Amino acid sequence: MADKAVSRRQCANAIRALSMDAVQKARSGHPGAPMGMADIAEVLWNDFYQHNPGNPGWFNRDRFVLSNGHGSMLIYSLLHLTGYDLAIEELQQFRQLGSKTPGHPEYGYTPGVETTTGPLGQGLANAVGMAIAEKTLAAQFNRDGHEVVDHHSYAFVGDGCLMEGISHEVCSLAGTLNLGKLIVFYDDNGISIDGEIDQWFADDTGKRFAAYGWQVLSVDGHDPDAIGSAIEQARLESSRPSLISCKTIIGFGSPNKQGTAATHGAPLGDDEIAATRAALDWPHAAFVIPVEIKQAWDATEKGFSAESAWKEKLVCYEEEYPELAMELVRRIKGQLPGHFSAKADAYISQCQQSADDIASRKASQNCIEAFASLLPELIGGSADLTGSNLTTWSGSTPISERANGNYIYFGVREFGMTAIATGIALHGGFVPYTATFLIFMEYARNAVRMAALMKQQSILVYTHDSIGQGEDGPTHQPVEQLASLRITPNMSLWRPCDHVETAVAWKAALERHDGPTALVFSRQTLVHQQRNEEQLAGIPRGAYILRDCEGEPEIIVMATGSEVAICAEAIATLQSEGIKARLVSIPSVDVFESQDVAYRESVLPPAVRKRLAVEAGAVDCWRKLVGLDGKVIGMESFGESAPGPVLMEHFGFSANNVVDTAKSLL
């Protein structure tokens, strides 16, 4: 600590005061957790946490995640006190529109906040992803005497985080992967919103984590010396993640409310705050931090020195390993290699020339084979469906076998997998991809939403994309999932119709840096579509004319994925009967809608009001493209159990039905 005359308790009380004052001013919030965890945070941030308030993005900083994000005033207090660009006025505007202090920590709003933590447990999952990224990147780049990637991932969690099932998924995997630089602090205060938790959460948490393969330590969460000793012990353990179970009193310092649910999610009230100030011997006015306490917290000089020392290490590393250093910097910046785009385009042209009829999941694997060799930052895996999702390539090396690998066997953990991938993306240095059946996106739905909310580049590979999945029946056949993904802000979705569109979709996902991309692939074989150069150039624009007629069309048929080939057959029939019909392939609705008006109207002329959309999914999202005079052939029920081709015919996905429906429009 900078000033020994200032006690640890005074420093911790600064957090307590700021937290209760901000919540009271907002008349909304959660003062209990920040007040209860203040002593733990003080020891960690003042004695161990490696960071630079002057440069929140310094790459070799430790990562700190407040998974119990409702206690957001804890991290806002820490950031303000240690010198980040978070003025006291921002704390006074807690939970207000336009402030840097939203109700839960949000990535991109507040300097120093590493991830958005609203839904409980996902911050913990993100921290596991960060720890995976650190360990793997260190193994790929560090050399003897040159540890240029060397930092810890710390997470604070509450009872709610550990009740959520995602905590089991990710902590089980963390133990299996020996993430020794992951240290989690459990705020064991025995209270949640409904009161004392022993009625609904009686787990032996220590034994649970020991069974995962973690080091488990227990301390009094209000004893700084014990907390410091536990952190030191956790940092010495290199092969196991550590759980430090901290027995705390929620709302510590509040004479009449501490230890009760009354401090959890509501302001203390003016009278209780006055009583708390007296109990804590904190005579200062609201939002006033004495200079000596602020100086004791200030980490700007220490942070600048830490980053400067690391930069010196990086210079020495660059002198001995110039190519590695250049590659590391490129990956830290999130830049693709300069040659990638041209080589990807060459591969796309190769796919067009090959004319292969293959399932798009196999086409996806071919793309991974082609692109992963160009992009060492690509890391990913499947939720126990590697052989079905087809997500490995010839250079795949499991990180469970070699620390410097590039493939993760996630096990049956769709939710945890997706949130871990977001943590990897947030850490930097990698482009993560994950895979499962499209229907099991539902298990991961909230993690998908959080990736989109934070605009993180995460590639979501979803196979077995429709009722064409077949015999496994409606439990495995997606219907509403495409629509759900399409209406998610910041999400891009591609459902390609053949190998060529699959390659374009993968390239788009790899080049997109402002949100996740869902790549949706078929189990069944898809027919290769012939194209000219103009049509090939139209694929990256999300939609293009695949089959056209002479003059203005009487009807436009639009389709995605496996239904494109069905519609191509139907178009041929319609044209043979003298009907001017156009087929538009729309592999990505959102990309098409982002194009300029002139292009969109060249593909879908407003004057042509007879339109038919065909997709083996929910119909509602197509209404805006077909208009009032159009129709949609889609799914308006769940599926059935039968062979895929039988189901496609049964639900109307046949050339004959497309022809009949088109004629009915005319």
How many beta carbons lie within 10 A of that of residue 302, not counting itself? 18
The residue among 409, 389, 412, 400 whose CA lies nearest residue 169 is 412
| Candidates 164, 377, 414, 615; catalytic one | 414
Q: How many residues does the chain have?
A: 666
The residue among 422, 398, 418 whose CA lies nearest residue 408 is 398
SS3 for 97-161 is CCCCCCCCCCCCCCCCCCCCCCCCCHHHHHHHHHHHHHHHHHHHHCECCECCCCCCEEEEECHHH
User: Cα-flanking dihedrals φ and ψ of residue 492, to 5°?
Assistant: -115, 140
Q: Measured between alpha carbons, how far apart are the two ends of the chain, in Å?
A: 80
Mapping DSSP to helix (H, G, I), strand (E, B) and coil, where does residue 514 land?
coil
Place of tokens 């402002």: 514
Radius of gyration of the chain (CA): 28
DSSP bridge partners of 359: 525
The residue among 354, 288, 218, 236 whose CA lies nearest residue 17 is 288
DSSP bridge partners of 611: 556
523: left (phi over 0), alpha (psi -120 to 50) or beta: alpha
414 is catalytic: yes
How far, CA to CA in Å, does 23 sit from each of 273, 297, 486? 11, 22, 37
Residues 646, 666: contact at Cβ < 8 Å? no
The residue among 114, 38, 32, 108 whose CA lies nearest residue 71 is 32
Active site residues: 414
